Structure 1
Amino acid sequence: MEYRKLGESDLELSVITFGAWAAGGWMWGGTERAESIDAIREAYHQGVTSIDTAPVYGQGLSEEIVGEAIKGLQRDKVQILTKFGLQWENNSGEFYFKSKNNQGKDINIYKYAGREAVLKECETSLRLLGTDYIDLYQIHWNDPTTPIDETMEAVELLIQQGKVRYAGVCNYTADQMQEAERTVAIVSNQVHYSMVNRKIEEVVVPYCIANKKSILAYSPMERGLLTGKIKPGHIFSEGDHRSANRSFSPENIVQVNTFLDKIKHLAKDKGVSLGQLVLKWTIEKPGITIALAGARNAEQAVQNAKAADIHLSADEMNYINMHLEDLILV
């Protein structure tokens, strides 16, 4: 496993970081708690020492599962990344979207990162995670109803109190990162990035490279679309958000699989899966520090971890990039 520092900090993460969204079940059609715990522990034994979660993932369940999974592990050998700024218990902030919790109850998700809310969220996360500090604390989405400096002042206070080691952001524009930086030192931006979603290459990646900020790429396998396992006519389980995601339209599934057919010989020659090849491509892209990969069981966790060991030559990267030019989702 390879480890990379975030920004100019001394915080090192495994280049494949465990993404624990699906572990919370919410929007993924439920979860198997025991299998999720096994997946996190097996990932750790494979060198994936970094785990990314959030309160909204299962409304606390993902953080609780992560906390249970890391019990007994040496705390300073594990890097816990969590988030704040999405809440579902009241209507503070800006309405984001309607959803259902794991029990099927209707809930509304709001973006809210007022000072007191941030401090309270941190205490809840620490309790659920079973730890006394968070390695990287990230705002999940910008809250337009709260000044960025107010939000970041709360994070700076948490750093001073020793409850948070470093501050990060998620889904921030370059301008928002610059504004946040006036209040607290930002080490990273976690953003959506994959072979079929490369918009951040226009502004965010150049900004982060120039300002020595790290990028944590989430959904690098486009929530399973780039694994080659999603075929036309695929039926998602009830509650799986992908069924309504336009990336998974019949036309896009066909296009993506046509592209994957062009590169699958590379995976075959290396004795790896398409998903592993996609993960390796992601962490080899300029400006991308970490790729987040979820796993529903121990076997998937091992496969994700082994992606870090693949070698991709410059010619092979160019070959993949060449065929990507023809892939445009509708």
Structure 2
Amino acid sequence: MDYKELGDSGVRTSVIAFGSWAAGGWMWGGTEQNDAVGAIRASYDLGVTSIDTAPIYGMGLSEEIVGEAIKGLPRDKVQILTKFGMRWNLAQGTLAMKTKDNAGHDIDVYTYAGPESIVRECEDSLRRLGTDYIDLYQIHWPDVTTPIDVTMEAVTRLMAQGKVRAVGVSNYSAAQMAEAEKTVKLASNQVPYSMLRRDIEREVVPFALEHNKAILAYSPLQLGLLTGKIKPGQSFAATDLRATHPLFKAEHVTRVNAFLAKIRPLAESKSASLAQVVIRWTLAQPGITVALVGARNAEQATQNAKAIEVKLSSEELDFIDKARQQLQPAR
């Protein structure tokens, strides 16, 4: 496994990190906790020392799973990346979505990052994770009801108390990152990025490269679409976000699979899966520091971790990009 520092924060993470959104079950049609714990431990055994989670993933379940998985592991060898600012148990801030929890109950989710809320969220996360500090604490989504400097001042106080090692943001624009930097030295920005979704290359990547900020790419496999395992017209559970996601319409899946068919021989020549090639391509892109990849069981986690063994030459990367350019941009 390879490891990189997040900016100049002093926090070093594995370049392939375990993304635990699916493990928490929320919006993924449920999960099996034992399988998720096994997936995290299998990842760790292969050098994936960094685990990204959030309270909203399963309404606390994902963090609890992570806490269970890291029991007995040397805490200084594991990097816990979690978030704040999405509340399902406090009707304050801006209504972000109406959704359902893992039990199918209707819930309202709000983006809110007021100081008192951050303190409460931090304490709840530490309890669920079974630890006394968080390696990277990230605001999950911008909160338009709280000034950025007020939010960041609250997190700096948590750093002063030793509860947070480094501060990051998620889903922030370059302008929002610059505003946050006036109050705290950011380590990173966690943003969506994949072969099908490359809009961060316009402003976020240049800002990160210029100011030495790490980029944590989430959904590099585009919710599983880039694994080649999704079929046109495939059905998903009503609680699975892919059931209504535009990228999973039959006509788009057909186009994506046609693209994947072009790079499948390359993957096969390396005894690699399509997913492994996609992960490796992601890490080869300018400015991308970490690829966050989810897994529901140990086998998936093992295959994700072994993507680091796949090597892509500049010619092979060019071949992939030329094949990808024939796809219509994601809408």
**Paired residue for 1:283?**
283
Whether contact under 8 Å (2:137, 2:164) holds in the other structure is yes
Are 1:29 and 2:26 matched, yes or no?
Answer: no
Whether contact under 8 Å (2:233, 2:249) holds in the other structure is no
Are 1:50 and 2:50 matched, yes or no?
Answer: yes
**Paired residue for 1:186?**
186
Structure 2 CA distance, aligned partners of 1:161 and 1:8?
20
For residues 63-212 of structure 1, what are the structure 2 equivalents within 5 Å?
A: 63-212=63-212
% same residue = 60
**Paired residue for 1:224?**
224
**Paired residue for 2:324?**
324
In the TM superposition, what is the alpha-carbon distance from 1:9 to its structure 2 partner?
Answer: 2.1
Counterpart code for 1:264? R
Structure 2 CA distance, aligned partners of 1:180 and 1:237?
39
Q: TM-score, normalized by length of structure 1?
A: 0.99
Equivalent position SS for 1:167: strand
Give CA-to-partner distance per residue, 1:243-263, whole Å, 9 cap, x none. 111011111101100100111
Structure 1 CA distance, aligned partners of 2:164 and 2:257?
42
Equivalent position SS for 1:290: strand
Counterpart code for 1:193? Y
**Paired residue for 1:238?**
238
Are 1:15 and 2:30 matched, yes or no?
Answer: no
Equivalent position SS for 1:222: coil
In the TM superposition, what is the alpha-carbon distance from 1:103 to its structure 2 partner?
Answer: 1.2
Equivalent position SS for 1:217: strand
Q: TM-score, normalized by length of structure 2?
A: 0.99
For residues 262-277 of structure 1, what are the structure 2 equivalents within 5 Å?
A: 262-277=262-277
Equivalent position SS for 2:279: helix
**Paired residue for 1:310?**
310
Counterpart code for 1:302? T
Question: What are the ranges of 5 or more consecutive residues in structure 1 without an aligned counterpart?
Answer: none
Equivalent position SS for 2:223: helix
Counterpart code for 2:217? A
Equivalent position SS for 2:197: coil
Equivalent position SS for 1:223: coil
Structure 1 CA distance, aligned partners of 2:90 and 2:44?
36
Structure 1 CA distance, aligned partners of 2:153 and 2:233?
49
Question: What are the ranges of 5 or more consecutive residues in structure 2 without an aligned counterpart?
Answer: none
Moved over 4 A (4+): none
Whether contact under 8 Å (2:180, 2:186) holds in the other structure is yes
Q: Paired residues, what number?
A: 330
Structure 1 CA distance, aligned partners of 2:41 and 2:26?
21
Counterpart code for 1:279? I
In the TM superposition, what is the alpha-carbon distance from 1:293 to its structure 2 partner?
Answer: 0.4
- The alignment's C-alpha RMSD in Å is 0.7
